[in-house]
Structure 1
Amino acid sequence: MAAMPRKESLPENRPDQTMLSVRELLELPPLDGARLAAGERGAGAVVARVRVLESPDAARWARAGEWVLLPGREEPERLGQLFAELARQGVAAVGLRSARLADPETLKAALDEADAVGLPVVELPGDLALADVVRAVMERASPNEETPLAELQSRIQAMTRLMLEGSGLLALLDAMERMLGNPVAVVQEHDQPWVSESLREAEAPFAGPLAQALAYRHMAGRGARGVFVTQQSAYRVYVCPIPSRRSKPANLLLIERHADIDSLGMLSMDRLSVLIGMELANEEAVREVEGKYLEQFLQDWLSGKIVAAGDWKLRAEVCGCSLPEDTPLCAVLVGMSERHPSPDRLRELARRLRAERFRTVETLLASPFGGELALIVPVPETDRAEPQSASAVSALLERLQPELRSLIGDASLRLFAGRPAGRPELLPMSLSQARRARQVAEVCGLPGERVAYDRLGVYSLLYLIPSSEERAQFLERFAHPLQQADRKGGGRLVETLEMFFRCNGNIKLTSEKLYAHYNTVVYRLDKIQNILGVSLDDPEDRLQLQLSLKLGHITPAGN
């Protein structure tokens, strides 16, 4: 991870701030029920800021004059050591939930340490939201009356003009970064975050703060104006909920990277979140309309309605469909544990996958198609040679599957792929092959989480055998006698024969897999040979038996 430059710290107390002591903070309405559990002689310390300490490892970044709130993830045995470390750094006080005080002996030792170093420890009620504490303290420590309201009004007007010009969400975020002196981002569930310019230049190092902010969406969504989240990297994130009538919640983030977040910055975030919410709704509406055109294009493409390469290119450009040039494309069907997902569910999954940036593929398109979720995936490693293309598709599916499982939330997800299509107009053939792979795999009970058409082998041929007198006679000769014997209590003969072939004729391994005695398996195999009049030592007989077992599992369409 790239190193991030530290910002300059501001003095612990500013002259324009109201001087508020720890003792006076305990009189604030949200802190009813809180009490001073230790550090009475330090209760006159002035509180300038509040920090939620999400990890004990981040304690070294606490600043003088701060009230540090501990949500309860630190190790009990380290509590006294943590108090001593915070006191050395000049922290004004520590807030601790009462639910955190379960071990009296450990607590007493820690509080004695706090008393010895003069660090006030405030016991907070267990049901008190930390967001409410942050809001109450920051409002008193940096009251709204002392905020330059003219500057705030100017910022709102500038952002309003920018929004009316139709500059777009990213332009608004860039303007906010220049205005507030720190990068900003919009984070919404199941979507890639919108980030301002400095984050777009160095997105990877800030993936942690953005993900952390997601975890604290519930804190910002309880009616609180906002909440600070402290990272292990010492960067604080101010999380502000975006007002929206839409069901999906979203947050506006201000990352304290270049300068301290002051009261004017917080107020600006609170007021501008309304404008960002309006622009976000506009972006979503545009994306929804574009998504419908794109979805129709993909469905026409997959169904073979787009024949000419020129028509494909024209419609792809209109829909903003970006795929790598001269790269074979593979159609993939997604098999989920939910057997018959609704059309709305499929559309939502397709939209989510199209918006995602994958690690394993440069780009990916998704669309509902015939009650299934179809993917269009480039296969850059493939060659026109058949064996190599099969290998490339299998490797692609292996890399892609974990990401799809995580995004869709289905641990039993399976993938079925056709052959790579060298030209866009050949993609429907790849989809047809993917469908055949799924049909054969499900009907024949093929194992495996990823099934490529070129890997079906003999199953693809057996699946195509129609119902006929010859087929019936073949099954009557080799399959039906064992099935009848099993129904009459013959002793799991079909199961034993199948496991015998899976174990490559190894009787010892077959007995272990079936949890049966070695002699029992030998007896069953002898019985099979007697019933059918065959020899398992004869390669021709073994081939006939294996084909009959596989064919017996298949029920062709129309039967």
Structure 2
Amino acid sequence: MQSAAFTFAHMMQLPLFRDAQVLAGMTGSDNEIFYVDSMEMPDLTGWLRPNELILTTGYSFRNEPHMLSRLLDEMHKVGGAAVGIKARRYLKEIPDEAILKSNEYGIPLFEIPPDVTYMDMTRVILDEILGRQAIILQEVQHANQQLTDLVLNRRTDELVVLVGQLLHCEAAILNAGGDIEACTTDFSWTDTVQKHVVRVGTRVFGYIAISRTLESIDTFGQLFLEHVVTVLAVEFTIRQSQRLRREQEQTDLLAEILLQPGKPEQEELVRYRAQRLDMIQGNFYYAASLELSEAVSSDENVNVLLKERLVKHINSSFRLKFSSMLSDGVLSVLCATETSARNQQRTDIESLLASIREIVAEEQTISFGIGRTYENLSEASTSLSEARKALIIGKGQRGNESWRKIFHIHDFIVEEMLLDLTGQPQLESLYKELIEPLKQYDREYSQHLLSTLNAYLRTGANTKLVAEQLFIHRNSVLYRLERIKEILQCDLNDAELRFRLTLAMRYGETIDIYKNMHL
């Protein structure tokens, strides 16, 4: 492709210039000529162009020969190609200073034969320039067609091979993160000389890296590389569109699995769809619900963005084990496991928590509710309901200052049962008979009978442990227990009564939890 360049050496081989004599600057023989112009005015600045051939009779220099040196200075500044002069017409000899600068700058200075006219030179040179540019354009068009075909047929690996072949170098296509998408066989990071950005609008999608510098005179290479960047922008845009469509399909299926009642008869179809979308697969499935205790910002949009970031992190880092989604501000996770053992569930969620901790602000508390495992995906919505119950019950009953709060529904079997029985007449009657009188007394006299009774029942009637837990004297515990006996007119040593008190107490806690639930 480089042979299509029209250089000073090529021009001097044309028949029209067979009698032309090169006076100086032969080191610039490979200077490419893009333009040709004549100059007979002494104004040297503002109109010269890179790769331009200047033809002159020297008329403007006849009284000031040093102006020829000035012309070479100005051409050196803009990257001019060469200077042709009819020296014998107005200048008897070329100044030594001009010869020295021609050699120094590598800008050939040649003498035009007296019988050669400007019109003939301009016509011949322009014919050569246009002819060679036509060759370049034909080659670029052919290469562009190859590139387009490769992109349309999604053969990116072959595309980078074509780049390497036509530019005579090693090449690689990189994504926005700098990772190699495809490369030639011998490509190495240490060989990278140039990286060209592939962007759509202001967004950078990737790069094309090559192992050599494309010179400005390499017209084919420059044009071809521009088209490579363009077609790669199309390729990355197609990939982005496919990725977004796939992510939307995954989100839609996940919402269908977690938020809609399962249909066992569609289990096989759902599994097939999950496999086709490269979603999690396992022997058992369960759901988890995540909650951040403190908002990182008063701006709700910021909090939503954080949760969306968590969803993206979970889905990209644990693709085959966890799939997460955000619905109405609630972050839910579908989990796959090879065993139904609860300790394995906790281990898996612990690893997920540790990963999330790197993203969430240090002062935020992360809580997880975990549902039971099921063999069918159609039962995942049931597991999610259990996970949300476990999260709310656990937060309501068990204060924990640690950021690692994991609540499994199995730990709250009684609360789960009572939660489902909220409003049941017999339980309501038992609660009103045994618990409400103590609550009323505590409100009127600012006492702590209810909390004392709770501790008494949970410690197995061990008054010493009750005193230690409540940080009071054991005599105070005994006094409060006597008051409870008087109010309820009962014997706390009766095992059957203590069972009823425990049931009523747990039911009362469940009522408070139920009021705060948003399932």
The CA deviation at 1:182 is: 7.2
**TM-fit CA distance, 1:379:** 0.5
Write the distance in 2 (CA, Å) between the matches of 1:493 and 1:170.
77
Q: TM-score, normalised by structure 1?
A: 0.49
Shift of the 172–455 alpha-carbon distance from structure 1 to 2, 3 Å rule, reads farther
- Correspondence 1:309 to 2:290: no
Equivalent-residue separation in structure 2 for 1:168 and 1:355 (angstroms):
27
Structure 2 match to 1:30 = none
Match of 1:167 among 149, 154, 170: 154
Aligned twin of 2:330: 372
TM-superposed deviation, 1:535: 7.2
CA contact (8 A) 1:242 1:274 kept: yes
Partner of 2:175: 186
* In structure 2, distance between residues paired with 1:159 and 1:503: 81
For 2:324 and 2:415, the matched residues in 1 are separated by 28
CA distance in 2, matches of 1:547, 1:281: 62
* Match of residue 407 from structure 2: 451
Aligned to 1:308, what secondary structure does the other structure show? Answer: helix
Pair member with larger Rg: 2
Provide the C-alpha distance between the structure 2 equivalents of 1:451 and 1:174, rounded to a whole number of angstroms.
Answer: 55
Give the alignment partner of residue 321 of structure 1, picking from 263, 278, 282: 278
Classify the secondary structure of the residue corresponding to 2:365.
Answer: coil
AA at the equivalent of 2:349 = L
Distance of aligned partners of 1:175 and 1:532 in 2 relative to their CA distance in 1, 3 Å threshold: farther
CA contact (8 A) 2:308 2:326 kept: no
Q: 1:418 to 1:493 in 2, by over 3 A?
A: same
Q: Distance in 2 between matches of 1:304 and 1:167?
A: 40
Find the aligned partners of 1:244 and 1:469 in 2 and give their Cα distance.
Answer: 66
* Contact 1:349/1:408 (8 A) holds in 2: no
CA distance change for structure 1 residues 294 and 468 in 2, over 3 Å: closer, same or farther?
closer
Matched residue count: 355
Distance 1:482 1:414, change over 3 A: same
Query: Distance in 1 between the 2:176 and 2:466 partners?
Result: 54
1:398 aligns with 2:355: no
**1:450 CA drift (Å):** 1.6
AA at the equivalent of 1:403? S
Distance in 1 between the 2:231 and 2:453 partners? 70
CA distance in 2, matches of 1:253, 1:531: 83
The answer as to 2:314 corresponding to 1:357 is no
Alpha-carbon separation, structure 1, partners of 2:192 and 2:361: 30
Q: Structure 1 residues 354, 172: CA separation in 2 closer, same or farther (over 3 Å shift)?
A: farther
Q: Which moved more, 1:475-484 or 1:538-547?
A: 538-547
Give, as a single letter, the amino acid of the residue that structure 2 aligns with 1:551: Y
2:103 alignment counterpart: none
Map residues 432-451 of structure 1 onto 2, 5 A cutoff.
432-442=385-395, 444=397, 449-451=405-407
Using the TM superposition, give the Cα deviation of residue 298 of structure 1 relative to its aligned residue in structure 2, in angstroms: 2.4
Which residue in the other structure is 1:146 paired with?
none
Question: Are 2:287 and 1:331 equivalent residues in the alignment?
Answer: yes
Q: SS at 2:375's partner residue? A: coil
> How far apart are residue 529 of structure 1 and its match?
0.4
1:414 to 363, 367, 390: 367
For the residues of structure 1 that align with 2:310 and 2:385, how far apart are their CA atoms? 19
Contact 1:170 1:194 in 2 (8 A): no
Taking the aligned partners of 1:368 and 1:547, their CA distance within structure 2 comes to 37
**Take 2:462 and 2:434, find their aligned partners in 1: how far apart are those partners?**
21
Alignment-mate amino acid for residue 312 of structure 1:
V
Is the counterpart of residue 551 in structure 1 residue 511 in structure 2? no
CA deviation profile, 1:23-79 (whole Å, cap 9, x unmatched): xxxxxxxxxxxxxxxxxxxxxxxxxxxxxxxxxxxxxxxxxxxxxxxxxxxxxxxxx
Once residues 348 and 500 of structure 1 are traced to their aligned partners in structure 2, the CA distance between those partners, rounded to angstroms, is: 45
Which residues of 2 match residues 126-141 of structure 1 at below 5 A? none
- Sort the Cα spacing of 1:538 and 1:466 in 2 relative to 1 into closer, same or farther, 3 A: same
Question: 2: CA distance between counterparts of 1:172 and 1:492?
Answer: 78
3-state secondary structure, aligned to 2:368? strand
2:384 maps to which residue? 431
Q: How does 1:479-490 map to 2 (within 5 A)?
A: 479-490=435-446
Q: 1:298 aligns with which of 243, 254, 272?
A: 254
Tell me which amino acid in the other structure corresponds to 1:429.
Answer: T
Corresponding residue of 1:13: none
1:196 and 2:181 equivalent? yes
The gaps in structure 1 that reach 5 residues or longer are 1-148, 200-205, 210-233, 255-259, 384-388
Secondary structure in 2 matching 1:335: strand
Amino acid in structure 1 at the alignment position of 2:333:
L
**TM-score where L is the length of structure 2:** 0.52
Contact 1:481 1:532 in 2 (8 A): no
Range that drifts further, 450-459 or 462-471: 462-471
- Which residue type is aligned with residue 410 of structure 2? D
Shift of 1:402: 1.8
- Which deviations, in whole Å up to 9, do the C-alpha atoms of 1:112-134 show, x marking residues without a partner? xxxxxxxxxxxxxxxxxxxxxxx
Q: Measure the CA separation in 2 of the matches of 1:407 and 1:194.
A: 23
